[in-house]
Structure 1
Amino acid sequence: MSVRVRFAPSPTGFMHVGNARTALFNYLFARHNGGKFVLRVEDTDLERHSEEAVNVIYEALKWMGINWDEGPDVGGPYGPYRQSERLDIYREYIEKLKERGLVYECYCTPEELEEMRKKQLERGEPPRYTGKCRNLTEEEREKLKAEGRKPVLRFKVPEDQEIVFNDLIKGEIRINSRQLGGDFVIVRSNGMPVYNFVVVIDDALMKITHVIRGEDHISNTPKQILLYRALGFNPPQFAHLPMILGADRSKLSKRHGSTSVREFKEKGYLPEAFTNFLALLGWYPKDGKEILSMEELIERFDIRDVNSAPAVFDTTKLNWLNQVYIRNYDLDKLLDLVVPYLEKAGFDVSKFERDWLKKVLEVTREYFTVLSDAPKYIETFLKDEFEISDEAKEFLKENPERIKVIELFYEKLKKFDGELSQDSFKKLVKEVGKELKVKGKNLFMPVRIALTGKMSGVELPILVELLGKERTLRRIENTLNHFKS
């Protein structure tokens, strides 16, 4: 049997971390087993639907390196792949259930249902639909219609039936039909079929063999199995992924920070690092290797190794992974990703040669956690005019000798003839120290302040070599003029 899985998000305008992990695990499972990965858009909530929201899904998946074999944009043999375009198909199967007497019209108002629920809770019973409209006569139905009531369509849940399925992650799950809350709605009063019904039709007709989704869907599974059987379909195999929790062990939400894929992208997480991290949320490779390319993830992924316990979203680990990827990333590609952050910070990068920018990136990237850190570390190389920090001003004012260090270094550099390298810079500073009898902090810190306006930053020999003699002199002149004025 050829493996076929699907990722079926609702277009809400953003892709949550939980959805992204579900998509990834489906993709890894399909590719590992040489199967097909289907993208289906569940857009029956027409009020909330927008094409922009669908594009957010495409964008997030492509950014993560996930491509699909069938879907709304690429087609396939079992389309359409949008639920809003499959309404005629659903109506056909609604008629089949009606013909078999497995559904009925329910005219109960929201107020009546609420009253029913309230009384059950008062008696200490779990809320369930009582089946009040199950055996209405034709006359009773006509009377309710005359009142202007629009019915929903309910599925007849069999009494006291054990529904058993073997979850690939959770093991055997048994749920009695008495626990399902009574006969459930499959078509709303506006004629729109509901999730539990349409998902069964879609998965069956698209020949989905494995349904891999979040464990919040476990309560839906027995209802869906009943519908599969009622329609004469074989249910697929189910695998329910563990929840993702925040560091405080509560369900991951906005208060834990970023939760959408786009937010992680905008902050400057590399797609490879983000995808690698998501794969380790609830799954771990047998060989213990954590830095894994998409190819390595596909090769190692086994659904049976997914842990049934909740996974904790550890931002510290994500940051560590991102740093590892940044340090080892192809420099050309990394520069292309960094430039927008530099431009957003107000730098005109077109003034600098690409090869020079690559050298700057090479010596600064080890300081980045995310790409949005780039301006903070690269700015030192791009700005010849800068503010001197209050801390740096105080340091220079404390001891007049410190200004002399800057002045003597400036004089020596002006006279220096040759290529300004890391070694020649160190030699010049050493000469200054010898002549003025200063060393350590009193020698290097004044030079750092003269060149950057700050008390810390990138190693000075590296900075000076990349700035070159003219720009280094210009910076020192600016600093000396500041103190003279």
Structure 2
Amino acid sequence: MEADEPIVYQALNIKRHREVVEELLKKSKAYYAFETPEELEAKRKEAASRKVQYKYNRASAELSRETIDKYLSEGKPYAVRFSIPEGRTEFEDIVHGNTVFNNSEIEDFVLMRSDGSPVFQIAVVVDDHDMKISHVIRGDDHLSNTPKQILLYRAMGWEVPQFAHLPMLLDEQKKKLSKRRNPVAVEDYKSKGYLSEALFNFLTLLGFAPEDNREIVSKNDLIRMFTFERVNKKSAVFDMKKLDWINSEYIKSADENMIANLVKEKLEDMKLTNESVNLQYVKNVVSLMKERVSTINDFTEFGKYFFEEPSKFDDKGLVKHWNPQIKPVFADYF
């Protein structure tokens, strides 16, 4: 899938984020917070010692205007916090349905750090608003961020987008898929020999089931068939065996010239190409092996003997298994 507009980098939009923070201060929807990191850490430790959950006590929100002006004139460092209103925040999540958060359970979160850098919550809201994003579609680990962001939209008088929180992906140990433990970059799977169409097919079916329950579905059909009503709330397991099977099906049905070119690229990386190992030769190998492999790498791993002279021969094995009738078959292919 291709993006239909330029990529926006948050780091290049800091000036705009700060402008919105200033506007929230003017609207009295946010306030200066003068506590030092050391003071906040001491309060967290004190809460932990009492085995209670720490929540910012809004001390800076109670400061008088005179005190605030004094601290600012003295150059006292400050962060900016959002002032959570009373009541509750309710929204209709496209996947999870009606969702309600009590505002009393949400602390006055930081909008801008003492070094002037905006935090995630304000940056995503400003950028999404400016880009006219209508639907925010993301993992359900962000569900708890949603009430904070909705409150920011409302504080600015902006239209709130629709939210859809998809189930998280779990690894085969049923733990959250993590880039620290699992390969999660698309390039990782490309280097392992997975086809982009197969990976797209596999990922789309994690947490989503087409009406006809097909498992091999083209990209265009998946886009046409996709509907949030068929997205599961339960987290899906990233099953490598399933990915291998889907990839093998795509290899079987793919154009042999395309597969041969991918295999040849791998061989060139492995320095296993020469005058005899040309594209037609590789295509012949692909024709022989494509029904029995799961990835592009399997051609070079399990079929390496097609491309590399053996360092030694098993003379006894050759004599035992050689059949003169096989010779014409080899001649036809090679």
State the distance in 2 between where 1:362 and 1:140 align: 80
Deviation sequence 1:82-108 (CA, Å, 0-9, x none): 223323322332222122111111111
**What is the Cα deviation at residue 394 of structure 1?**
6.3
State whether structure 2 residue 160 is matched by structure 1 residue 293: no
1:365 aligns with 2:280: no
1:169-206 CA distance string (max 9 Å, x none):
111111101111x2111011111111111211121222
Partner of 1:253: 178
- Picking from 92, 108, 121, the partner of 1:166 is 92
Match of 1:466 in 2: 333
- 2:141 is aligned to 216
Q: Where does 1:12-27 land on structure 2 (aligned, <5 Å)?
A: none
Deviations 1:421-442 (A, max 9, x none): xxxx35x7xxxxxxxxxxxxxx
CA 1:138–1:305: 2 relative to 1, 3 Å: same
**Corresponding residue number in structure 2 for 1:150:** 77
Report whether the alignment pairs 1:188 with 2:55.
no
TM-score normalised by L of structure 2: 0.91
Instruction: Indicate the SS of the match to 1:105.
Output: strand
Candidates 281, 293, 299, aligned match of 1:374: 299
- Equivalent position of 1:314 in the other structure: 239
Residue 118 (str. 1) matches residue 45 (str. 2): yes
Q: Percent identity?
A: 38
- Contact 1:367–1:377 (CA under 8 A) maintained in structure 2: no
Task: Return 221-230 or 139-148, whichever deviates more.
Answer: 139-148
1:330 is aligned, of 255, 263, 278, to 255
CA RMSD, aligned part only?
2.4
Inter-partner Cα distance in structure 1 for 2:33 and 2:182: 43
Residue 7 (structure 1) aligns with = none
For residues 278 and 66 of structure 2, what CA distance do their matches in structure 1 show?
85
Structure with greater helix percent? 1
Contact 2:140 2:166 in 1 (8 A): yes
Q: Which runs of 5+ in 1 are unaligned?
A: 1-65, 73-80, 397-401, 414-424, 429-460, 468-485
1:5-404 pair list within 5 angstroms: 66-72=1-7, 81-141=8-68, 144=71, 149-159=76-86, 161-180=87-106, 182-253=107-178, 257-388=182-313, 392=314, 395=317, 402=319
Does the C-alpha gap of structure 1 residues 352 and 394 become closer, same or farther in structure 2, counting only changes over 3 Å? closer
* TM-score (ref. length: structure 1): 0.64
How far apart in 2 are the matches of 1:178 and 1:145? Answer: 29
- Return the alpha-carbon distance in structure 1 between the equivalents of residues 20 and 309 of structure 2: 72
Counterpart of 1:166 in 2: which secondary structure? strand
Shift of 1:340: 1.8
CA distance in 1, matches of 2:50, 2:306: 73
1:359 is aligned with what amino acid? N
Q: For the structure 1 residues 384 and 132, does the alpha-carbon distance in structure 2 shift closer, same or farther, using more than 3 Å as the test?
A: closer
Alpha carbons 1:342, 1:374 under 8 Å: kept: no
Which secondary structure state, in structure 2, belongs to the residue aligned with residue 183 of structure 1?
A: coil
Instruction: Report if the CA contact (8 A) 1:342-1:375 is conserved.
Output: yes
The residue type paired with residue 226 of structure 2 is F
Cα separation, 2, equivalents of 1:255 and 1:236: 32
1:366 is displaced (CA, Å) by 2.0
Whether contact under 8 Å (1:342, 1:349) holds in the other structure is: no
Distance 1:321 1:108 in 2: 55
Q: Given residue 304 of structure 2, which amino acid in structure 1 is its aligned partner?
A: E
Offset, 1:312: 0.5
**Counterpart of 2:125 in structure 1: which amino acid?**
V
Residue 143 of structure 1 and its aligned partner are, at CA, apart by 5.8
Consecutive unaligned residues in structure 2, runs of 5 or more: none
**Inter-partner Cα distance in structure 1 for 2:187 and 2:84:** 41
| Structure label with greater radius of gyration | 1
| CA distance in 2 between partners of 1:462 and 1:151 (Å) | 80
CA distance in 2, matches of 1:82, 1:321: 35
The answer to whether the 8 A contact 1:339-1:349 is kept is no
Cα deviation digits, residues 235-279 of structure 1 (max 9, x gap): 111110111111121112357642221111101101011110000
Aligned residues, how many?
334
Aligned equivalents of 2:301 and 2:48: distance in 1?
59
Residue 122 of structure 1 and its aligned partner are, at CA, apart by 3.9
2:3 maps to a residue whose letter is W
Residues 134 and 385 (structure 1), Cα distance of their counterparts in 2 relative to 1, 3 Å cut: closer
Alpha-carbon displacement from aligned partner over 1:319-353 (angstroms, at most 9, x marks no partner): 00111111111111111111121123331244344
What is the rounded CA distance, in whole Å, between the counterparts of 1:246 and 1:238 in structure 2?
25
How far, CA to CA, are the matches of 1:274 and 1:285 in structure 2? 16
Change (3 A) 1:118 1:228: same
